[in-house]
Amino acid sequence: MKVDSHRVLIRPLLTEKITGLREKTNTVGFVVHPDANRIQIRQAVEALLKVKVAKINIMNIRGKIKRLGRFSGRRSDWKKALVTLKEGEKLEMYESA
């Protein structure tokens, strides 16, 4: 499926684990479109954020079942991408945070 570059990256992930990865291995995390593949994610990151990508790891996260009293529901499934940047590359949006 063809996905627009602006729709591939939904939002950045700012968790403690990803912050540690960013400091150690220059890896940043994003919530991405469920139909996006590695090539589309690489093109979107390089085009929109103006950085070079070394490697991409993708994970499909299944939504958890949550209960409120006797009613049960389910959170949505989502896709996570861990993008490792090449040596010397930085993202300014993470440097100010």
Query: Is 93 within the bounds of a domain?
Result: no
Quote the pLDDT of residue 4.
82
* pLDDT of amino acid 95: 66
Per-residue pLDDT of the chain (97 residues; tens, 9 = 90+): 677 888 999 999 999 999 999 999 999 999 999 999 999 999 999 999 999 999 999 999 999 999 999 999 999 999 999 999 999 988 877 666 5
The tally of domains found in the chain comes to 1
In a domain, 96, yes or no: no
Measured over the CA atoms of residue 43, residue 19, residue 27 and residue 38, the dihedral's sign is: negative
Does residue 75 contact residue 61 with C-beta atoms inside 8 Å? no
Residue 92 lies in a domain: no
Q: Is 33 inside a domain boundary?
A: yes
Q: What is the pLDDT of residue 94?
A: 66
Domain of residue 30, residue span: 5-87
The whole-number pLDDT of residue 45 equals 95
Q: What is the pLDDT of residue 77?
A: 97
> What CATH number corresponds to the domain at position 20?
3.30.70.330
- φ, ψ of residue 71 to 5 degrees: the values are -95, 135
Q: Is residue 97 part of a domain?
A: no
Q: Say what the pLDDT of residue 49 is.
A: 92
